[in-house]
Amino acid sequence: MLSDVPLTRDLVMVGGGHAHALVLRAWGMKPLPGARLTVINPGPTAPYTGMLPGYVAGHYGRDDLEIDLVRLCRHAGAALILGEVDAIDREARSVHVAGRGDVGYDVASIDIGITAAMDLPGFAAHGIGAKPLAAYAARWSAFLDQVAAGEVAPEVAVIGGGVAGCELAMAMAHAMAMTGVVPQVTVIEAGPGISGMGDGARRRVDAAMAGLGVTVRCGVTVAEVAPGAVRLERGGEVPAQLCVGAAGAFPHGWLAQTDLPLVAGFIDVRPDLRVRGDDALFAVGDCAHMSHAPRPKAGVFAVRAAPVLKHNLRVALAGGAMRHFKPQKHYLKLVSLGGKRALAEKFGVAVEGAALWQWKDRIDRAFMDRLSDLPVMQVPQPKGQVAKGYDVEAKPMCAGCGAKVGSGVLRDALGGLGPATGDVLTTAGDDAAVLRQTGGGFQVISTDHLRGFVADPVVMTRIAAVHALGDVWAMGAQPQVALASVVLPQMSPALQARQMAEITQAATEVLGDAGAQLVGGHTTMGAEMTIGFTVTGTRDTAPITVAGAQAGDVLVLTRPIGSGVILAGEMQGKAAGRDVTGLLAQMAAPQGETAGALAKARAMTDVTGFGLAGHVAAIARASAMEAVLWQDQIPVYAGARALSAAGVASSLMRANRADAPVAGVEDPLLHDPQTAGGLLAAMSAQDAAAALAEIGPAARIIGTLRAGMPGQITLEASR
């Protein structure tokens, strides 16, 4: 999102809870000019807890209850950092992200929810908390599969007899019964009865649990969670192949290690949701304690607090009057009863039935629709008369390698450079220029930069560095030094300093791990973030080029294709967040060791903007060979084929298709521009087998070369 207003203030939102998700949606509709927004969350999605019992019971799929933070952050113009905050320095105004470092803020908000992990002997090894969702969902899914296969007994113990524990017990009992087994679910409650509801609701829930075969044991205390059983304080045990902790709300442990004002481990906030004694820090949701209006831990309060939080964050960044959050004293409780029935309770009155589950389902789906029904990016169309040649069907210009000039245009532009002379042995046409070193050996040099496609400067820098190093690795050279070229959006000196510190640290780490040194570079400000590197490398013997492949060589590819279509889909709000973050993690992974395993390649390049077909054609043309590719052997990033089938494509796709046509089976992904793509090597079959054994399953043999028309490519459906 471009703006003529320089960025001057950093807003950091820690956690992807319900309130933060709603603020992100509203922020995208009306952003605050000059504010830079960053969200920090352990994963690319956040669960909507209201649908958790329905998911456990089998009424919903995992995607139905997960808030896609990647899409929300794109909508809001926010950077998303995947990581866990484990400390905060309120004096320096920074939060520490494990494995990454400090992230500075001017204003910050915390919405990290709670955990259900319990401090009981054996629980960490043999139990699982109902929150956070990801770990519990994975354990439950695996357990249910084992139960259905008859591999384990359908024995479950739920520690905690509140609303959450009872809902989960009934949901698990229902799901196991649907597999054809008789479930054995026990709720263990230290109090005299199930809690969190009135007498009428309690009687109905008791009856519902009894109908599902759920046993409730009240007035007992857990001594230990052991393999296959939960042992009780006064003797006896409850058989349990799965033990789930749902006994109340527990604050995240790292909060206790801070100087934050806490009440029973939860962050104490004022009526305006600011942390008591700190005007730059907010807290909301289950992790916060409202001393002015104490309430149970329930998602309804986070949802109701979101408009107040949004307003007050803007006030903290830009000035104005704060609003107070006044949570309602009475709220409607909707309790899932295992099957598609629900109980409703308010003012002590409780009713149940299938119609109430349908009502709850509509409420829950409407909430999720609010967070997923986001505007789709459109290409702004000019008004009035335009010059001839304007493409009214043009796609939004992609970032990364999707923003490159087409290979045909580039070849024409570089055609007049002339032959190499002196110590310059090769010029344009390969991954890097090759120079003769004084005293022997060779040096390669290449430059590359990327138009930003992810707002997180650390991830963008890592990918840009790996991408630039690809040219050196592809020639079998050892990276030596690098110069950075950085364009920052307009921003204040304070934000410049923060962002350049992050970029420099990330670049130094990636280059240092590759054996190279960052020695300087150039910075400027412009319309958007662009990061690039000029990299040199050395090699004792002649570098590997795109020429030299022989008939009978196989083609080895070390990474999937499809990054261009996923990045285009993400830009349009159509790609799944998990697919996007999985792609980014792969793109940021170095390939130095992989390049070493391909040392016996006869020809090699890295697959980047011109797509797999373009780079196969480069090897085939330079080696006077034709290529045959096998579609079923070409690895593809998760989500790429579905997006491609839906018509999503990079803006460079058309030029790539024209520059490297492929005969045989049709596959648009062969022309998809790649960023930080895999290495493509032509090797003997024997050497390729040895390389694949060293690299692992990520690398594949995708085709072969044979005598024929130089540069021609044929795609066959299978090997």
CB 245 within 8 A of CB 161: no
State the SS3 of 482-545.
Answer: EEEEEEEECECHHHHHHHHHHHHHHHHHHHHHCCCEEEEEEEEEECCCEEEEEEEEEECCCCCC
**Mean pLDDT on 42-56:** 92
Percent of the chain scored above 70 by pLDDT?
Answer: 94
Nearest CA among 108, 53, 58 for reference residue 85: 108
Half-sphere exposure of 479 (CA within 13 A, CB side): 34
Residue type at 235? Answer: G
Question: Residue 98's CB: how many other CB atoms inside 10 A?
Answer: 12
As a whole number of angstroms, the longest Cα–Cα distance in the chain is 92
Q: Of 73, 166, 398, 401, which residue is the catalytic one?
A: 401
pLDDT at residue number 79: 97
Selected residue with higher pLDDT from 661 and 421: 661
Nearest CA among 706, 631, 699 for reference residue 662: 631
pLDDT at residue number 391: 64
CB 501 within 8 A of CB 488: no
* Buried-exposed string 519-536: b where 16+ CB fall within 10 A, e elsewhere: eebeeeeeeebbbbbbbb
Burial class (CB in 10 A: 0-12, 13-18, 19+), 421: exposed
Q: Is the dihedral of CA 203, 204, 208, 211 positive or negative?
A: positive
CB 85 within 8 A of CB 97: yes
pLDDT at residue number 384: 76
CA dist 39 → 33, 88, 315, 387 (Å): 17, 15, 19, 42
The 10s digit of each residue's pLDDT in 154-207 is 999 999 988 889 999 999 999 999 999 999 999 999 988 888 888 899 999 999
**Mean pLDDT on 409-438:** 71
Q: Any idea which of 90-94, 180-184, 408-412, 536-540 has the lowest mean pLDDT?
A: 408-412
**Mean pLDDT on 357-363:** 94
378: pLDDT confidence band, cut at 50, 70 and 90?
low
Active site residue 401: yes
Residue type at 350? Answer: A
Nearest CA among 200, 210, 13 for reference residue 111: 13
pLDDT at residue number 403: 58
Mean pLDDT of the chain: 91
Selected residue with higher pLDDT from 690 and 424: 690
Residue type at 14? Answer: V
**Mean pLDDT on 3-16:** 90
398: pLDDT confidence band, cut at 50, 70 and 90?
low
Q: Are strands 242-245 and 127-129 parallel, antiparallel or unpaired?
A: parallel
2: pLDDT confidence band, cut at 50, 70 and 90?
very low
- What domains sit in the chain, N to C, each tagged with a CATH number? 9-113+251-330 (3.50.50.60), 123-245 (3.50.50.60), 545-719 (3.90.650.10)
Which tokens sit at 358? 């349908």
Strands laid side by side in the 530-539 sheet: 424-426, 433-436, 442-451, 530-539, 478-489, 517-526
Q: What 3-state DSSP class applies to 36?
A: strand
pLDDT at residue number 454: 94
CA 689 to chain centre: 33
CB 309 within 8 A of CB 282: yes
Alpha-carbon span 225 to 122, nearest angstrom: 5
CB 714 within 8 A of CB 629: yes
Alpha-carbon span 656 to 672, nearest angstrom: 8
92: pLDDT confidence band, cut at 50, 70 and 90?
very high
Give yes or no for residue 210 having a pLDDT over 70. Answer: yes
The 10s digit of each residue's pLDDT in 526-548 is 989 999 999 999 999 999 999 99
pLDDT at residue number 450: 94
Which tokens sit at 222? 């857990």
Alpha-carbon span 445 to 449, nearest angstrom: 14
Alpha-carbon span 112 to 43, nearest angstrom: 12
Give yes or no for residue 263 having a pLDDT over 90. Answer: yes
The 10s digit of each residue's pLDDT in 324-338 is 999 887 778 899 999
